[in-house]
Amino acid sequence: PGAVVYIKYGVKESPGSDITYYDSNTTADTVAHYEFPDLKAGDYYLFAVGFDSTQGKVVSGGIPVLISKKTETVEANVPVTE
C-alpha cells in the first residue's frame, strides 16, 4: 500500500531504477491497487518503489507487461525486493 508505480511506454526491458527514465507514475491505494487508464496495446515496463513496514526497509522491483488489445484489462503484481 502506498507504493509509487512508474511506467515506461514501448519497452520490454527495465530502463533501470532511475525514476526519471519513466513516462508516468501513480500511487497504489491501501489495498495495493493501482491503474494506468487508457493504455494502448503494446509493451510496457512497470517499476514500483514502496516501504515494507514489517522489515522497516524501502523495497523496489519491476516487471514487463504486454497489453494485447486496447479493451484488455491487465493485472500485474510487481515483485519487489530490498
Tens of pLDDT, residue by residue over 20-36, are: 999 999 999 999 999 99
User: What pLDDT score was predicted for residue 29?
Assistant: 94
Q: What is the mean pLDDT of residues 5-17?
A: 97
User: What pLDDT score was predicted for residue 48?
Assistant: 97
Residue at 55: amino acid letter = Q
The structure's pTM equals 0.89
Q: What is the mean pLDDT of residues 50-78?
A: 90
User: What pLDDT score was predicted for residue 81?
Assistant: 86
Give 21: exposed, middle or buried? Use CB within 10 Å, 0-12, 13-18, 19+. middle
Q: Categorize the per-residue pLDDT at 82 as very low, low, confident or very high, splitting at 50, 70 and 90.
A: confident
Q: How far is CA 2 from the centre of its chain?
A: 12
